[in-house]
Amino acid sequence: MEIFLYGVRGSIPAPLSNQEYREKVISILRLVAKSEGKAFSSPEEWFDQLPEPLNYVVGGNTTCVRIIGSSGVELVVDLGTGARVLGEDLVREKFGQGKGEASVFFTHTHWDHIHGIPFFKPMYIPGNKFTFYSPLEDLPERLKYQQEPRFFPIHFDHFGSERNFRRLQKGEVLEIGGVKVEWLPLKHPGGSIAYKFTENGKSFIFATDAEYNGEDFPLIQEQKPFFKGADLLVLDAQYTLDESFQKFDWGHTSYTMAVNCASSWEVKKLALTHHEPAYSDEILAIILDDARTHAENLGAKDLSIVLAREGMKFKLV
């Protein structure tokens, strides 16, 4: 099972600003000046030696994840603005020939999780087939509403592809192309869903738009059977701890609580996601360092923590 991250920002797209780009370049040039002509075999090798976050951008697109099972089955979670980039990749494959088929799971329908749909090219190509999964009874109406003529010139019903809807039932477990799919409701205004994908004994859980705070320790323990021992957990970590106090009931988690949850659930790898749109890459790098320090202080020495970034790929075998 392979997992690809196409969008990791929360709430609204946040492209890299000119000022942030300038600061990155200046920081790199300062390192060049200090290198005193140290030899590298290639510019690529030199670039790879740069400290984080100078050798990457976190990315500004909102939530979209691609999962490919060992059988080749295509699974997608959410179609935020990252879906535009995913679509570009898919049309270079069989989706460009109208021979693609994918299952799309929606965590919920807040804008940052659906507003890539009108720009998702494979949906326009006849022959492609999509099945949309959600516990929401009115998911078709919600997606169509986004593309009413007042908001977008092409209606949802005018896509060329075949689109079907499947409502998930409480406690339902699916198997698609050899991948087991389970789901769990999360604490979020309007609701949100965590999805768990398991294949060959390896599990990936995507749990964005979830709020866990100091009052939720009973809930964290209650949900432990679902999360326990996940090989990879991509979890909402939009806020600092102080911000989470100021934005109580806004539906998101501090990175401190995200680490607490992952530690309690005995997760192997935690990827912090749904990044605050106001945070620069440099701030997010500081958050990552703080999260790792917090894990050490908890005694969670076996917990690996990374920052979710666009273009990231994980392979669970």
> Whole-number mean pLDDT of the chain?
95
For residue 237, give the H/E element and its range.
none
> What pLDDT score does 53 carry?
86
pLDDT in tens, 75-93: 999 999 999 999 999 999 9
Residue 105's contacts (CB-CB under 8 Å, 6 or more residues apart) are 75, 76, 77, 78, 133, 134, 181, 183, 193, 195
Q: What per-residue confidence (pLDDT) applies to 37? A: 65
Read out DSSP for 143-194?
HHHHTSTTT-SS-GGG-SSEEEEEEPPTT--EEETTEEEEEEEE-STT-EEE
Name the E strands within the chain.
2-7, 64-68, 74-77, 101-105, 129-134, 162-167, 174-176, 179-186, 192-199, 202-207, 232-236, 269-273, 304-307, 313-315
Residue 67 confidence (pLDDT) above 70: yes
CATH number of 2-14+57-315: 3.60.15.10
| pLDDT, tens digit (0-9, with 9 covering 90-100), for 230-255 | 999 999 999 988 887 777 777 889 99
Q: Is the pLDDT of residue 122 over 90?
A: yes
**pTM score, two decimals?**
0.95
275 Cα distance to chain centroid: 10
* CA neighbor of 295 nearest in space, from 265, 252, 250: 265
pLDDT beyond 70 at 44 = yes
> pLDDT for 198-216, tens place per residue?
999 999 999 999 999 888 8
